[in-house]
Every structure is written in structure tokens, then in C-alpha cells.
């Protein structure tokens, strides 16, 4: 298994993918879908790797977003994608010349799906070209970079959104709804477990210069972010402990396994784990005075499995990236406000917590936020 992408696909890949509309009991001829007649978000994908491919495939089913451009350092990939997705020659760029998108009216936004350390400069260049930005998480490798990216997008008057696909996932949102509407009562505890055994030791995710860290930057961010939206508060302190068993693969600055704890203003606490060396970790659990919610898988590509004190969650599965891109088109064009934010400020909060966790590991002390 080579990456989080492989893990997320494998953890739910054995399940049957169903996309059943609420009216599935009706006869096919009775299901009438209203055509979408609004603006279409025209997107260029930067970084044509495995996840870029997943997003491109998901966008084929989007109503509100369309793949119209590609940016890559690989001429062969550009050629293949151009043929497969019918991308115009004039909408194909490399990493040296993509600033020219400034003069391309067929591209509204760029989705940056490259190694973490490249996000900062690439996002700022896209913003300066006057295009909206969607950036994969983590948005940057530190909070200072994140602030500069936010500032650049604000100055250019373009949107900066982050690929938090779980913020639009139906079962996740149902648990958040129950918590927000008081059905669970006061939240007491959250557990987030995220991990898998990483594969190729030469991949960029194990290179600190490109990844900015190890498992915490890749898979641990799901537990951090999940704790925040499940509890509904921002943590005020963290503690953390690192375990490293393979110093050859996990070199200095590349964390293998980190256990971390967070405390919230209400008194709720979170206990989480992020690992590149433990398989089958993909679970969120929240418990409160009057109820609980559980997702397992919690961050895979779906379908998710969940239950609460009311019973099994039966929200229909939809491809996460399709939903995400439709929702982001609504944010960009209509100013829609998602239940859980997906903007640069949301990503900045996660990065500040990651920095505090790394500091807690280094010092062995509680770090206040």
C-alpha cells in the first residue's frame, strides 16, 4: 500500500457502492431529475496523480463543475488526459507556464493536488493569475505558509477552498446535525483513529522536505479535523507522544505513529491516533450525555458505515469528490455557506494544531493553544 489514497480506497473498496436516490422505490420512469441550468465551474486540475485522477473521474458526474484544464510536469500524462477527458490543447499547461491561465477564460478555478510543500507557491501563483483555488489538505506545511496563501487569495479577490470532502458526506453531517441540534446533549469524548501501513519507502510522503512531516500531515489531519467538527469546538490544549519503530523508513522529522489528546473549552476531551505503521485504523466515535455517534469507516472513499444511539445511519452514498465539487461550485458562484467550513481559515486551524502536536511530542509537555 503506497499512500493514504490507497488506504482510503482499500478500507471501503470491498463494500458494494450504491448510489440510491430517496425515491428508489419508484419506477424508473417516475424518477424525474430537474436539469441544472446555472453556471458551471470550469476547473483545471494541477497534479495528475492517483487522487487527481479520482477527482477527474468524479467530475464527469458533476452538474455544476467541469474539467476544462490540466497542469502537469509530465508531457505523457498531459497527452493521455487530453485525449481521455477531451481537454483543449490551449488549456494544457506545465509547472513553468501555468501562470498563463490568467488570460484563459475557459478556466475559473485550479484544483492543486501536488505534494504538500508545493502548495504554497502554486496557490499564490494561481491567485495572482486571478483564478479561484481549491487546494488539497494539508493546505501547507506550516501555519505561516497558510497565512500567506490566505492573504494572497484575499488580495487577489479569489476564493481559497480546501479539499475537505468529508465536510459534505451525508452520514458525517447527520451526526453533526444531531450534535448541533442538541439531540446528543453535552459532548464528553471523541476518539479518532487514522492509520495504515505505508508502502514504497521512496515515495514523497516519507520525504520531510516534500511532505512537511509524516503520518500526522497525511492521515492524522482527518482525526484533528474530525474532532473539531464532531465536538463543535476548538481545542485549547494538546498533549502528544510519538512511537517510532523503523528509523530507516521513518527518518528524522517523519513521524511513524503519534498518539495525541486534545481538550476543549466545555471540558470535552479527544483521544486520537495517527499512524503509518498500523493497518485498519479508520474510526470516529463521539459520546455525549444523551447519545453517541460512530463512523467506521470514517474517512474512506465510501460507502461510509455509521450508527448512533438512534440506530444505523442509512443516508445514501454519493461519490465524495462529485458532491464536493458541486458544493464548491455553489460556494464560489452563489456564496453558499457549508455546514462545516472548507475555506483557508479552516485549514489554518488544523495546521496550528499540528504544530502544537509536534511541539508536545518534542517537549513532552502540554501545549496550550
Q: What is the CATH number of the domain that holds 156?
A: 3.40.50.720
- Give me the mean pLDDT over the 172-176 stretch: 98
- pLDDT reported for residue 35: 84
CA dihedral 103, 105, 111, 117 (to 10 degrees): 10
Residue in this structure with the C-alpha cell 461519490, named with its chain if needed: 319
Contacts of 7 (CB under 8 A, 6+ apart): 1, 196, 219, 282, 300
Domain final position from 165, 194, 227:
165
Would you place residue 341 in the very low, low, confident or very high pLDDT band (cuts 50, 70, 90)? very high
Residues 343, 330: Cα–Cα separation, whole Å: 13
- pLDDT reported for residue 55: 98
208-248 pLDDT per residue, tens: 999 999 999 999 999 999 999 999 999 999 999 999 999 99
The answer to whether residues 242 and 294 belong to one domain is: yes
40-68 pLDDT per residue, tens: 999 999 999 999 999 999 999 999 999 99
Burial 181-197 (b: 16+ CB within 10 A, else e): eebbeebbebbbbbbbe
The answer to whether residues 108 and 156 belong to one domain is: yes
- Whether 60 is in a domain gets the answer yes
Would you place residue 7 in the very low, low, confident or very high pLDDT band (cuts 50, 70, 90)? low
Domain count, the chain: 2
The answer to whether residues 147 and 179 belong to one domain is: no
The three grid cell numbers given for residue 56, joined into one nine-digit string = 477527474
CB atoms within 10 A of CB 149: 27
Q: Are the beta carbons of 130 and 153 closer than 8 angstroms?
A: no
The three grid cell numbers given for residue 75, joined into one nine-digit string = 508531457
98-127 pLDDT per residue, tens: 999 999 999 999 999 999 999 999 999 999
The answer to whether residues 128 and 173 belong to one domain is: no
Would you place residue 9 in the very low, low, confident or very high pLDDT band (cuts 50, 70, 90)? low
Task: Write out the residue range of the structural domain in which residue 63 sits.
Answer: 4-20+37-165
Domain final position from 165, 196, 224:
165
The answer to whether residues 171 and 294 belong to one domain is: yes
Question: What is the CB-side half-sphere exposure of residue 300 using CA atoms within 13 A?
Answer: 26
The answer to whether residues 231 and 126 belong to one domain is: no
Q: Are the beta carbons of 133 and 126 closer than 8 angstroms?
A: yes
CB atoms within 10 A of CB 34: 6
Q: Which residues are catalytic?
A: 137, 222
Question: What is the CB-side half-sphere exposure of residue 37 using CA atoms within 13 A?
Answer: 3
The answer to whether residues 16 and 41 belong to one domain is: yes
Domain final position from 165, 183, 215:
165
**Percent of the chain topping pLDDT 70:** 91
The answer to whether residues 194 and 118 belong to one domain is: no
Q: What is the CATH number of the domain that holds 186?
A: 3.30.360.10
Amino acid at each position: 500500500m503506497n499512500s493514504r489514497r490507497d488506504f482510503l480506497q482499500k478500507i471501503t473498496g470491498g463494500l458494494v457502492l450504491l448510489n440510491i436516490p430517496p425515491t428508489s422505490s419508484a419506477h424508473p420512469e417516475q424518477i424525474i431529475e430537474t436539469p441544472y441550468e446555472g453556471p458551471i465551474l470550469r476547473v483545471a486540475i494541477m497534479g495528475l496523480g492517483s487522487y487527481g485522477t479520482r477527482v477527474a473521474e468524479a467530475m464527469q458526474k458533476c452538474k455544476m463543475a467541469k474539467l476544462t484544464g490540466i497542469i502537469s510536469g509530465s508531457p505523457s500524462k498531459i497527452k493521455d488526459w487530453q485525449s481521455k477527458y477531451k481537454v483543449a490543447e490551449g488549456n494544457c499547461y506545465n509547472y513553468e507556464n501555468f501562470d498563463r491561465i490568467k488570460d484563459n477564460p475557459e478556466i475559473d478555478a485550479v484544483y492543486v493536488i501536488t505534494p504538500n510543500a508545493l502548495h504554497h507557491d502554486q496557490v499564490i501563483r494561481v491567485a495572482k493569475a486571478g483564478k479561484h483555488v481549491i487546494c488539497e489538505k494539508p493546505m501547507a506545511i506550516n501555519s505561516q505558509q497558510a497565512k500567506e496563501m490566505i492573504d494572497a487569495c484575499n488580495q487577489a479577490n479569489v476564493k481559497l477552498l480546501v479539499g475537505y470532502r468529508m465536510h459534505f458526506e451525508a452520514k458525517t453531517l447527520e451526526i453533526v446535525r444531531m450534535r448541533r441540534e442538541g439531540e446528543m446533549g453535552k459532548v464528553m469524548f471523541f476518539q479518532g483513529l487514522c492509520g495504515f501501513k505505508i508502502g514504497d519507502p521512496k515515495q514523497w510522503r516519507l520525504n520531510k522536505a516534500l511532505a512537511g512531516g509524516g503520518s500526522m500531515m497525511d492521515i492524522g489531519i482527518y482525526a484533528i479535523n474530525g474532532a473539531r467538527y464532531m465536538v463543535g469546538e476548538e481545542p485549547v490544549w494538546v498533549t502528544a507522544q510519538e512511537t517510532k519503530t523503523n528509523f530507516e523508513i521513518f527518518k528524522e522529522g517523519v513521524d511513524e505513529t503519534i498518539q495525541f489528546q486534545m481538550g476543549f473549552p466545555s471540558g470535552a476531551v479527544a483521544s486520537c491516533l495517527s499512524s503509518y505503521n498500523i493497518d485498519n485504523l479508520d474510526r470516529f466515535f463521539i459520546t455525549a450525555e444523551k447519545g453517541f455517534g460512530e463512523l467506521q469507516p470514517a474517512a474512506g472513499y465510501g460507502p461510509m458505515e455509521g450508527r448512533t444511539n438512534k440506530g444505523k445511519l442509512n443516508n445514501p452514498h454519493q461519490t465524495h469528490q462529485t458532491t464536493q465539487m458541486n458544493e464548491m461550485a455553489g460556494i464560489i458562484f452563489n456564496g453558499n455557506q457549508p455546514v462545516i467550513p472548507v475555506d483557508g481559515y479552516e485549514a489554518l486551524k488544523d495546521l496550528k494544531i499540528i504544530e502544537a502536536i509536534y511541539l508536545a511530542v518534542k517537549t513532552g509537555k502540554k501545549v496550550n493553544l
